[in-house]
Structure 1
Amino acid sequence: MKPQATLNTERLILRAFTDEDAPRVQSIVDDKRISDMVSNIPHPYPENGAITWIQDSQQRYENAENVIFALVEKDTNLVIGAMTYKLLPNSEAELGYWLGVESWGKGYCTEAGRAMIAHGFIDLELTCVYARHLTANPSSGNVITKLGMKHTERREGSCGDKFASIEFYELLAKDYSAS
């Protein structure tokens, strides 16, 4: 498999995670406010959980299961979050992300999400991108709709290790506009 792409936006570099990112990831995701808003991050975060997650993500990329990008702030060269595609059958993918609390409210997820959507439809030739968020996290819904995704449903169900109300969205390639 070819190396994972690196994407650039105005303020961010989206690149593959490296083992050296583990201490920073560990410190970010150990914050309970992150696990409260993200379905698959436990609290407390397991010791050495970040290095295991990074190495697993590298393997999932090699197995064509996921594409996981570190969100790196250009000004500081610090990892501030992650954005992922879970690759699905029929050239479809589910977009997911998390962001460190100190970076909330600055538009980073929308900026990175636009780059991810373009990468997905143009480079990965996806036909549809899905996203979901916990209903209790409306800020995530705001990001998703800014990316041009359409709300499809709300339902109760399992989302990671949580059973909660979940909002679902999708964006079809035919409806995507790079503008």
Structure 2
Amino acid sequence: MPEFLTERLVLRPFNAADHDALQAMLLDPQVVAYLRYRVLTTPAAFDDSFKTHFLADTDTTFALENRQTHELVGFYEFHEDGTTGILTYALAPAAWGHGYVAEAGLALMQYGFETLGFDELQAHYADANPNSGRVMAKMGMHDMGVLKAKTLPDGQTIHVMAYNLMKPDWQDAQSASA
């Protein structure tokens, strides 16, 4: 069970004590508006996902804990698609705008490429949330443009945008900064 430390965060596997904070985050419509987790609309649905996914996927799903306060501020995870790791993340609203996504993402890139063996990392976001695109660029990822259009249950159509980073590009950036 890997754990990573950044300047302000502990990236670690989830534990039972994270239940209530994660439930509050994932049952907040603002947080999950454009995430796959928007289908978790009840505590019972969340409980099932918490047990079968967040607690079970200890190599690919990470709790983001504030190092000073020890509060759960969000999560990051890898979804495997062949040799591509697709990054998904969410933060509690109080943690928005503090740079946590880029900080955690940069820490997880090495793990994704070197330990999980991905050749490519991608991150997707809804065009209605352009801040996510800016974070991906800050992490050194490259804009791939529109991946697809999607109609949400409320009838809103969004464009799913994508960023990626190939392993050789990441390795070159690591060599240049060394």
TM-score, normalised relative to structure 1? 0.85
| C-alpha distance in 2 between matches for 1:60 and 1:23 | 17
- 2:16 corresponds to which residue? 19
- 1:86 corresponds to which residue? 79
Output aligned runs, 1:18-97, within 5 Å.
Answer: 18-36=15-33, 38-42=34-38, 45-57=41-53, 61=57, 67-89=60-82, 91-97=83-89
Aligned residues: CA RMSD:
2.3
Residue from 168, 174, 178 that aligns with 1:174: 168
| C-alpha distance in 2 between matches for 1:121 and 1:93 | 9
| C-alpha distance in 2 between matches for 1:159 and 1:53 | 24
Say if 1:14 and 1:69, in contact at 8 Å, map to a contact too: yes
Deviation, structure 1 residue 59:
7.3
Secondary structure in 1 matching 2:97: coil
Deviation, structure 1 residue 76:
0.9
Number of equivalenced pairs: 171
Secondary structure in 2 matching 1:125: coil
- Map Cα deviations across residues 142-179 of structure 1 (whole Å, 9 max, x no partner): 11111111111214434886752111111000000234
Secondary structure in 2 matching 1:48: helix
Residue from 105, 109, 112 that aligns with 1:113: 105
Say if 2:125 and 2:161, in contact at 8 Å, map to a contact too: yes
Secondary structure in 1 matching 2:57: helix
Structure 1 residue runs of 5 or longer lacking an equivalent are none
Output aligned runs, 1:114-153, within 5 Å.
Answer: 114-153=106-145
Deviation, structure 1 residue 52:
2.0
Identical positions, percent? 25
| C-alpha distance in 1 between matches for 2:31 and 2:152 | 13
Secondary structure in 1 matching 2:107: helix
